[in-house]
Amino acid sequence: MLRLFSFGSGARLTMRTSEDAPLVICGHGMVAQRLIERLVALGHPFNGIVVFNAEPFSAYNRIQLSAVLANEIPEADLALKPQSWFARHKVSVFNHEPVTRIDTDRGTVTTAHGRVQAYSKLVLATGSRPSSLGISGEDLDGVLTFRTLADTRALINAASTHKRAVVIGGGFLGLEAAEGLRARGMAVTLLHRSDHLLNRQLDTTAGDMLKGLLAQRGLNILTGQSPAALLGKSRVAAVQLNDDTVMSTDLVVIATGITPNIDLARIAGLQCNKGICVDSRMRTSHPAVYALGECCQFGTHTFGLVEPGFQQAQVLAQHLCQTSEATEFSPGSIATRLKISGIPIFSCGRVQAGPATEDIQWQDRPEHRYGRLLVEQGQLVGAVLMGDTASGPWYADLIDSGRDISGYRDTIAFGQPYCEAAA
């Protein structure tokens, strides 16, 4: 069935009604791509899939931007699928064409190019953007972020023409930015507000061990320090710290967290809090609109790692295809697996012990190995591993399942094969 719409400019567009309109996806990041692959594998019922993407490139491996920055892999390795894959599966991707408006009454989206596209169902996968610091000087030239391929190219370019960088933020993104710039020959200072690095994933001991190791490799790391202002005329020339110390620099990278991209959804009247509110089937407050990945919020949870987004993609694909094994999303205790400058790190569940926590720790400082398991009432409730993370998935499984570990509590630090052999 066809319907005619007329627009303010007098232009008329012909569109299909929602019953036979395609599935429209807004955003083409890693999570949207995973959803598309699951839909294709399940033989989805839609009359095609149309994807609008703000970035000029189809979905790529954002995680590997750190490896590109560190000059470990070429940009060409980032692609997730060749263009022929999209044509073969009737997926139309419009890059560099962000959606600017959603009309949930008409069931249409409008793009920055003025295109109006009807949808049968709409999926928002708009991800997030780097949070700003809210201090003066953030708009100066030479103040960059680390989120996209374009950001990465700008950082590589800056490293080829400048010598000194200050990276603000000692979470995994800040550490990877700092290490990448160091690998490209810059003298890098990293500022971190908390008293130890990766404070969301690591305890103080592991954070300090990581700091020592990175310092040995040449990073200047200042913990317990925040910037008060970025100084310069048109280009950044220095960072003023809270204690009024002024550090000269040629480049500043802000990596202090992410903010979900929700404006489009909020203006369309969808319920939003920090992210776009979804239920366990990834449905927003409108029955034809879904959201997943870093732009969504489930209960009080928002997301900053790819794994929960992949789980959400699986759940949503099953629901959109109405498969019999459709599942519900539950955030569980999502494990963080990272590699900082070649050092594997694993963290799952709680990081800090409470008064009733049994604390099992081991460390080998010269080998940069550390492990800490937190046990409460016979159950594993937290695991932090650095250096050797092979047992991480087993510990994550024990934390998630809440199984009683009393039978092998004394040997649990040796890992699953040992515990099973000894049982």
Ligand X SMILES: Cc1cc2nc3c(=O)[nH]c(=O)nc-3n(C[C@H](O)[C@H](O)[C@H](O)COP(=O)(O)OP(=O)(O)OC[C@H]3O[C@@H](n4cnc5c(N)ncnc54)[C@H](O)[C@@H]3O)c2cc1C
Residue ranges that bind ligand X, judged by CB under 6 A: 26-32, 52-55, 62-63, 65-66, 98-99, 125-128, 146-147, 173, 176, 261, 264, 293-294, 304-307, 309, 338
In the chain, the amino acid numbered 192 is H
Q: Taking Cα atoms as reference points, which of 171, 335, 191 lies closest to residue 252?
A: 191
Minimum distance between the CB of residue 86 and ligand X, rounded to whole angstroms? 15
204, with CB counted inside 10 A (0-12, 13-18, 19+), is: middle
For residue 401, report the phi and psi dihedrals to the nearest 5 degrees. Answer: -80, -20
169, with CB counted inside 10 A (0-12, 13-18, 19+), is: buried
Q: Residue written as tokens 């790819």?
A: 306
Q: Kindly write down the DSSP assignment for every residue of 29-65, as one continuous string.
A: SHHHHHHHHHHHHTT--SS-EEEE-SSSS--B-GGGH
Q: How many CA atoms lie within 13 A of 343 on its CB side?
A: 23
Contact 133, 39 (CB under 8 A): no
Minimum distance between the CB of residue 406 and ligand X, rounded to whole angstroms? 32
Minimum distance between the CB of residue 346 and ligand X, rounded to whole angstroms? 12
Contact 47, 285 (CB under 8 A): no
Query: Which residues face 123 on adjacent strands?
Result: 25, 290
- 3-state secondary structure string across 278-314: ECCCCECCCCCEEECHHHEEECCECCCCHHHHHHHHH
Q: Taking Cα atoms as reference points, which of 418, 421, 422, 373 lies closest to residue 398?
A: 373
Minimum distance between the CB of residue 395 and ligand X, rounded to whole angstroms? 18
Contact 120, 25 (CB under 8 A): no
Contact 232, 238 (CB under 8 A): yes
Q: Taking Cα atoms as reference points, which of 127, 170, 169, 179 lies closest to residue 148?
A: 127
Q: Which is nearer to ligand X, 40 or 305 (CB)?
A: 305
Minimum distance between the CB of residue 32 and ligand X, rounded to whole angstroms? 5
Q: How far apart are CA 45 and CA 15, in angstroms?
A: 19
Minimum distance between the CB of residue 120 and ligand X, rounded to whole angstroms? 18
- What are the structure tokens assigned to 396, written together? 């994550």
Minimum distance between the CB of residue 187 and ligand X, rounded to whole angstroms? 21
Minimum distance between the CB of residue 242 and ligand X, rounded to whole angstroms? 27
Q: Give the pairing of strands 251-254 and 164-168.
A: parallel
Minimum distance between the CB of residue 328 and ligand X, rounded to whole angstroms? 19
Minimum distance between the CB of residue 414 and ligand X, rounded to whole angstroms? 27
Q: Which is nearer to ligand X, 99 or 190 (CB)?
A: 99
